[in-house]
Structure 1
Amino acid sequence: MRVVVVGAGYAGTIAANRLAKKVPDAGITVINPRPDFVERVRLHEQIAGTGQAATPLASMLRAGITSRVGTVDTIGDGRVTLEDGASLGFDYLFLAVGSTAVPMAGTVPVGTWEGAEQARAGLAELSAGDAVTVIGGGLTGIETASELAGARPDLHVRLVGSSIAASLSPGARQRVCAGLERLGVEVVEDMVVEVGSRRGDRVVRLRSGAKFVSSLTLWAILASIPGLAARSGLEMNSEGRVRVDEFLRSVNDARIFAVGDCAAVSGARLCCATASPQGAHAADNLARIAQGRKPEPYSMGYAGQALSLGRKDGLVQASRRDDTVRRLYIAGRAAAVAKEGVSRYAKYGARTANYAWIPGAK
């Protein structure tokens, strides 16, 4: 059985390792644009110089799995074609290309490896008193602004978003804002309409009419899916995610499993806590098929959200299985330790294929 895995993030890596563990004679090839496994949950640390987000992919994959650096251009009838013209046949394929950013002109995206490296280089060139603006009030923006403020207290760090921490409970949002204030982060609740240029600096203009100078402007919003599925003729939803059946297979090609951010799974949030269960379950289903058994429907429930506020502070928000938040949250150093544990477990699960999750709400 020839299996191709397109993308080596959390979903693709755990899918490859789990299948290799359960179907040892499967021929598995992982195709990834870079030779590293990138922990997206640590990209803010990569930017600030407080941690590392990349690990050689060879050390993440089980023996016997082939890895290939390249970018897939199209997926055809049982064959993938790479941008360099090479092609590879498959019996089954895992599509795990994740999500990406479409940054506003004049900004640097922090949710991709390339953008994070560009942001890290830009940060190193800044002097005391320079301003860094982070656009995006979600957890990615909050973690980025917090990490930068903690690592570079000599800079003026500003976080701009139409709403800040909207996915959290009211009490948790207040706690996040208090944590940002303690770090010296200026919080601006408004919408950025343009990032222009003036004498080498960027001028950020807001919907309210306000504007300010920013030496480095970072885009912390992930809202786009790579175009591979569209180019390949797979059926998608309005957001560009691949429509899948209850077993995580493409609705118009049962040989293709779509997992992670690029899969249109109802109620799924874009995060590693979603990607890993999907990758693992899809691999389990292919193992069942290889053994002549029926695949099982996918089910997954959430427990909460975790975020860091620098290295010594954080917040863990409790939620119901359907991802609606509860009033309960913990914050402070204990939450920072918990967030670090979550990040380590996500990487451990991808590498070892040992991963457990709770079933979804009934």
Structure 2
Amino acid sequence: MALIPTHRPRRNRKSEVIRNMVQETTLSVHDFIYPVFLIEGENKTIEVTSMPGIQRFTADRLLDEIGQCVDLGIKSFAPFPSIDDRLKDRLAQESHNPDGLYTRTIAQIKKAFPDVVIMSDVAMDPYSSDGHDGIVDPDSGEILNDATLEVLGQMALAQARAGADIIGPSDMMDGRVAWIRDVLDRNAFSHVSIMSYTAKYASAFYGPFRDALGSAPKKGDKKSYQMNPANRREALRELVLDEQEGADMVMIKPALSYLDVIREVRNHTQLPVTAYNVSGEYAMVKAAAQNGWVDGERTMMEVLMSIKRAGADAILTYFAKEAAQVLRRG
């Protein structure tokens, strides 16, 4: 006679009401930070061909987009600028121009929507003629860590003055959190938060983002400052340093291929943990859905749930607006 099972986990799955009652992880619109792309000009949008459904916006059209998102409950945004090549130089001087596209637009967003949270990006690559996150030595090609900190501090200060609520150093230079914290505090911006890109990996998933901004390196790669995708313990070393240097939140980027790192960091810090569901992860889902290989909506929500389940308190995701619409439908 077959042994009748005593323990039956399926009893907790037998109806939708019970499944909802015992659900361990939930997604909310409050979990999302929406990355948006910014271009110069007026009344214009340009599609990012490698990211179906994603546009680059002029400032006026971006305000319209933010208004739609606010109506859906999205209140946090991370703008990234596409800068004209004529404004780029090896020292990224346009990055801290108080009248530049980026700082000007942050001020416009905060004036139109004072209650939204703007998370800025601190890295040289959108403004650099070299396409790197730091200053490149013209002779050796080395990325000059300590010289770059000065630029990052100027950039962070300009963004704080424009109204940024959270500064997001994504450059992966050593010591940048402490440097930026000191610059902000000395200039009466102690209330401005730092969300450090604690573990930013040298990933193949960034291609569509670089396509959107035209920010790919002109020579070499970013492996001397971004992390090796093979490493997990190294993320904990970066975490300890960011905590010591004054980060308010920490981030793992990318998210989907680094769920184990998200969980590892979550287990080792009391700080809020965020994760960046990056452009390549977005594009893969969209491409598969367009080909009819997966249910795009269900896959999107499963991806986001996996990131939250791994331990992320907030998720930067290009799916934010679409996911908010799904959540509103219930």
Quickly name the TM-score band, shorter chain normalised: under 0.3
TM-score of the superposed pair, with normalisation by structure 2:
0.25
Greater fraction helix: 2
Structure number with higher strand proportion: 1
